[in-house]
Amino acid sequence: MSQSEKTCLIRGDAGRTVRAILDRIGNRWTLVIVATLHGRRLRFGELREHIPGISQRMLSLSLRHLERDGLVSRTAHAEVPPRVEYELTPMGQTLIAPAITLAEWAVEHNPGIERSQTAYDSREESDR
């Protein structure tokens, strides 16, 4: 698909497709979970240890969403006690490169964004 066809597709559905995906991957925990699982298969507890600040409920919910979206696979082993492992699917692995690019962009441009915010806030205060 050409770039112009992709642009028309985005405009054709008023950006709904892109917004829906960005809502999912742009939430607070998705990219952290994806990055943590990159190249690894982890049990729930191990995954939670690698992600400070995430609650058990939020990790569980996030993993369920990621599994539903086809980005994470869940393997339950018939053992006592039960053992469940999570890993990225092939489609989930394709998210790593764009996520790294976005993270690099954020690090590079954060100082300029902060300067712009400070300048904007100063103008807003002086207009009051």
* pLDDT value for 84: 93
Task: Name the token pair of 112.
Answer: 């300029």
Helix ranges (H only) for 1-128 are 3-12, 16-25, 30-37, 44-50, 56-68, 90-93, 96-127
Query: Distance between CA atoms of 86 and 125, rounded to whole angstroms?
Result: 49
Per-10-residue mean pLDDT for the chain, 128 residues long?
65 74 86 94 96 96 95 93 94 93 92 96 83
pTM of this structure: 0.77
Query: Domain-by-domain residue ranges, the chain?
Result: 30-94
- Return the CATH number of 30-94, one of 3.40.630.10, 1.10.10.10, 3.40.50.170, 2.30.29.30: 1.10.10.10
Note the Cα 18 to chain centre separation in Å: 14
pLDDT tens, 41-66? 999 999 999 999 999 999 999 999 99
* pLDDT value for 6: 65
* pLDDT value for 37: 95
* pLDDT value for 43: 95
Query: Distance between CA atoms of 21 and 25, rounded to whole angstroms?
Result: 6
* pLDDT value for 87: 97
Task: Name the token pair of 74.
Answer: 């869940």
- Main-chain dihedrals φ then ψ at residue 43, nearest 5 degrees: -80, 165
Query: Distance between CA atoms of 99 and 105, rounded to whole angstroms?
Result: 10
